[in-house]
Amino acid sequence: MTRLAPFLLLALAGCAALKGGDASVTMRLSPRFTAAAPAATPSFAVAPVQAHGLIAGQRYAYVDAAAPGEIRQAATYFWEDAPADSLTRALVAGLRSRFASVTGPGLPLAADRRVVAALDRFEEVSDAGAARAVVAFDVTQVTQGSAIGAGRYCASAPIAAAAGTVRAAAFQQAIEQAVAAFVQDVAAGTVSAAAC
């Protein structure tokens, strides 16, 4: 047995060296909104969404409900775009479904209203085997140098399985819900402040 030990060790080291790394999963979000007859006014310019901390990066973040103060980062799951960029695109797409003139950060034209948003949460929350995608953002509309409404919007969607596609679909659903609620408020001239 002692004679075999070096060979076993060599074989073990060889196996460890030859084993490939974990394949990373890059997830794409393509939020879609049902278009209604677009209103000609007001025009909107969406500013780049700000994000802080770990959600500013592309690595997938998750929180265990048992330790809500600890945010963790996944080893192999990544977003194709940073969540703040995805939210910026979703806000532009959402507003375009109801308003004719909406520009994003790529075309910063003067507009009647400027939409300034800050992404607050974009994470998976796991609780006793159940997981959900949570998205929350604060948004302010600015016109003529004054804030005309500051609201908070959030949504969550269940994550049924561990696959990247399922996780991305849940986040897409959550982002669509939250942005749709914001667009609805803009169209109705109201402001919501979700308690989440």
Name the residues that contact other proteins, by CB under 8 A.
Answer: 24, 45, 47-48, 50, 56-60, 62, 72-78, 105, 108-111, 114, 116, 124, 126, 129-131, 142, 144-145, 158-162
CB atoms within 10 A of CB 104: 19
Q: How far is the CB of 180 from other proteins (least distance, A)?
A: 24
Residue in this structure with the two tokens 């060296």, named with its chain if needed = 17
Q: How far is the CB of 161 from other proteins (least distance, A)?
A: 5
Q: How far is the CB of 107 from other proteins (least distance, A)?
A: 11
Q: What is the distance between the alpha carbons of residues 172 and 30, in angstroms, rounded to a whole number?
A: 7
Nearer to other proteins, 33 or 64 (CB): 64
CB atoms within 10 A of CB 146: 7
The answer to whether residues 86 and 31 touch, using CB atoms and an 8 Å cutoff, is yes
Q: How far is the CB of 195 from other proteins (least distance, A)?
A: 25
Nearer to other proteins, 18 or 195 (CB): 18
Distance of CA 29 to the CA centre of its chain: 8
Q: What is the distance between the alpha carbons of residues 35 and 191, in angstroms, rounded to a whole number?
A: 21
Nearer to other proteins, 68 or 108 (CB): 108
